[in-house]
Amino acid sequence: MDLYEHQARELFKGYGIAVPDAAVVDHPREARHAAELLGGRVVVKAQVKTGGRGKAGGVKLAADPAAAEITARQILGMDIKGHTVHRVMLAQPVDIQDEFYVSYVLDRAAGTFLAIASAEGGMDIEEVAATRPEAVARIPVDPAEGVTETKAAEIAAAAGLPPEAADALRRLWQVLVREDALLVEVNPLVRTVQGTILALDGKVTIDDNAVFRQARWGETPDAPSTEGDPLEVAARARGLNYVKLDGEVGIIGNGAGLVMSTLDVVAGRGARPANFLDIGGGASAQVMADGLDVILSDPDVRAVLVNVFGGITACDAVAEGIVQALASVHLTKPLVVRLDGNNAARGRAILDARAHPLVEQVTTMDGAAARAAQLATR
Ligand code: GDP
Ligand code: MN
């Protein structure tokens, strides 16, 4: 889960990393008021969970409270890379001397963390990294040792940052560890004309596996869960794991492993998956009915393969779900069903009794995949 800049800013503050004074508003009139409280001149910043706001026109300086209101009106509602701006942050402007880039990121391949830092931070960091990688220092951080004062000084020196930046580097590591973050990034970390080190932007990604103990962030208006393919959003709203692909066979299975191997077997039979939906372990009839509804709503689907190995999930419940779905959706595409495992015989009997002309049962996974591929590509 990514945090908004204003949330990252609050975190940084709590760890003793200096940030400009700021306020978050969702209405232009409140922007005027907040700007007055902040001293008049403010930077107005779109709050969306994506980078590149500056280049997209989502970060603008306003000279006084009236200008802040006008600027907020322009930025609120703006679309930045598919993210609608519902809120803006107003921050006290800073006289920037230097802009640095600093981040800690989990390096899965190396099995460790990496500090990435550059004295050439700011909006063009991607270009710097691409054209002059030597300007970006990449230093492994042993998670057991962490970023001590010595380590922070080492990172700062390697990146060409001033020694005063080391303190922020050390504190940023504390953020990563204590907040269960997979990424913390500050771009830019600035040295002001007055010589102060300040975090002017912040990106923090909390490990989703730790969200249960980092629950205070909650869900906010443009959280990613309401974005993406409309069917993915609809499926998520029903608690289903649906992923859109670009082939022609709709796939429903229970459990990530079974679903992944079903994709492979279908591909092995010369067809391409149009999507897949994991109804999970312990799936009920209702979940199956909802799942079929989602899969059949995808116009690319030419045949559906339901592949269920009953463990906790009982095949008769899955079959009931299919029967239930057949009552509410008008089936126009062939459905190939393979039920095995827990209560498979009962499940098969239920589908046999329903005897829908477009529903076929095949007892093996390979056979079912072959049949679905054949129906989808004929
Ligand atoms: P991003 O484009 O989404 O990464 O948004 P940032 O928060 O990094 O802002 C983009 C750029 O705006 C920064 O790199 C700064 O150059 C500039 N900026 C942001 N806040 C201030 C500020 O308070 N004063 C000045 N002069 N520039 C700022
Ligand atoms: Mn930035």
pLDDT in tens, 263-302: 999 999 999 999 999 988 767 788 888 889 889 999 999 9
Ligand nearest to the CA of 4: 1
Nearest CA to ligand 1 atom 7: 201
Protein residue whose Cα sits closest to atom 15 of ligand 1: 122
Give the pLDDT confidence of 322-378 residue by residue, as tens digits.
999 899 888 999 999 999 999 999 999 999 999 999 999 999 999 999 999 999 998
From the list 259, 333, 329, the residue with the least C-alpha distance to 303 is 333
Residue nearest to atom 20 of ligand 1 (CA): 200
Separation of 46 CA from ligand 1 center, angstroms?
11
* Residue 122 burial (CB count, 10 A): 18
pTM exceeds 0.95, yes or no: no
Supply the pLDDT for residue 226.
58
pLDDT band (50, 70, 90) for residue 222 = very low
Q: Is ligand 1 within 6 A of the CB of residue 94?
A: yes
Name residue 77's amino acid.
Answer: G
Q: Can you give the pLDDT at residue 189? A: 98
Q: Give the fold, CATH level 3, of 230-377.
A: Rossmann fold (3.40.50)
Give the pLDDT confidence score for residue 235 in this predicted structure. Answer: 84
Please write the tens of the pLDDT for every residue from 184-197.
999 999 999 999 99
DSSP state, residue 57: T
- 302 close to ligand 1 (CB < 6 Angstrom): no
DSSP states of 21-33: -EEEESSHHHHHH
Tell me the fold of 96-216.
D-amino Acid Aminotransferase; Chain A, domain 1 (3.30.470)
Convert the pLDDT of each residue in 142-176 to its tens digit: 999 999 999 999 999 999 999 999 999 999 999 99
CATH of range 21-91; options 3.30.1490.20, 3.40.50.2020, 2.130.10.10, 3.40.50.620: 3.30.1490.20
322 CA → ligand 1 middle, Å: 54
54 lines ligand 1 (CB under 6 A): yes
Active-site residues, by number, are: 101, 185
Percentage of the chain lying above the pLDDT 70 cut: 97
d(CA 313, CA 323): 16
**73-118: per-residue pLDDT in tens?**
999 999 999 899 999 999 999 999 999 999 999 998 888 999 999 9
Across the chain, what does the average pLDDT equal?
A: 93
For residue 238, which phi and psi values (nearest 5 degrees)?
-95, 10
Residue 218 pLDDT > 90: no
Q: What is the pLDDT of residue 223?
A: 45
Listed residue (299, 234, 296, 246) closest to 274, CA to CA? 246
Give the lowest-confidence range in 9-18, 132-141, 290-299: 290-299
- The C-alpha atoms of residue 367 and residue 372 are separated, in whole angstroms, by 9
Q: What atom of ligand 1 comes closest to residue 96's alpha carbon?
A: 26
With helix as H, strand as E and coil as C, how does 170-191 read?
Answer: HHHHHHHHHCCEEEEEEEEEEE
What is the residue extent of each domain of the chain?
21-91, 96-216, 230-377
Q: Give the largest Cα separation in the chain, rounded.
A: 81
CA–CA dist 83, 85 (Å, integer): 6
